[in-house]
């Protein structure tokens, strides 16, 4: 658990630093999305927060390997830990969201994950209550172009 808090602290430091370097960043336009009937700003607020993966491609995610994703308006962090709370997989970087399409650019990885460093992945996002569904295909260089669906639940 200590490792998770270290990664979260580092993530927040990087995010705050990036936002401080660009205080003039443009505001999100109030554009209506057809599917959700919300503005992009409302959809972005729905996306922000901490999420736990509960299902991947129709299979329940194993409780022994909790996967968390933390999303801010400009950055994300994603990590998988083992039964002891040690992080066994993790990435973080920049993200964007236009109300339907969510994009992650992997800026930081663990040493064993160098092959995915600097990759960009795009997902179609939908919300139902405190659940978020992500549909997408990982970057082709992952050697896995199979579409996947993940269901995430908001951590409260």
Catalogue all structural domains in the chain, each as residue range(s) with its CATH number.
2-22+32-154 (2.40.128.490)
- Determine the pLDDT at residue 29: 33
Q: The pTM is what? A: 0.71
**Are 119 and 141 within 8 A, CB to CB?**
yes
**Are 66 and 52 within 8 A, CB to CB?**
yes
How many other C-beta atoms can be found within 10 angstroms of the C-beta atom of residue 155? 13
* Residue entry with tokens 């109030």: 30
How many other C-beta atoms can be found within 10 angstroms of the C-beta atom of residue 104? 25
The pLDDT tens digits of the residues spanning 64-113 come to: 899 999 999 999 999 999 989 999 999 999 999 988 899 999 999 999 99
What is the pLDDT of the chain when averaged over all its residues?
Answer: 76
- Residue 62 DSSP SS3: coil
- CA 152, CA 51: separation in Å to the nearest integer? 6
- Determine the pLDDT at residue 51: 96
What token pair was written down for 54? Answer: 């509960």
Q: Is the pLDDT of residue 117 over 70?
A: yes
């Amino acid at each position: 658990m200590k490792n998770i808090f270290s990664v979260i602290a580092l993530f927040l430091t990087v995010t705050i630093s990036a936002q401080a370097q660009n205080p003039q960043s443009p505001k999100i336009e109030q554009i209506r999305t057809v599917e959700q009937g919300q503005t992009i700003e409302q959809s972005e607020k729905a996306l922000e927060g901490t999420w736990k993966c509960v299902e991947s491609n129709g299979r329940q995610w194993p409780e022994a390997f909790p996967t968390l994703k933390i999303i801010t308006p400009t950055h994300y962090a994603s990590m998988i830990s083992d039964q002891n709370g040690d992080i066994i997989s993790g990435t973080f970087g920049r993200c964007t969201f236009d109300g339907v399409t969510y994009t992650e650019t992997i800026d930081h990885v663990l040493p064993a994950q160098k092959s995915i460093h600097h990759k960009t992945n795009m997902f179609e996002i939908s919300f139902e209550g405190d659940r978020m569904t992500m549909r997408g295909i990982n970057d082709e260089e992952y050697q896995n172009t199979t579409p996947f669906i993940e269901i995430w639940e908001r951590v409260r």
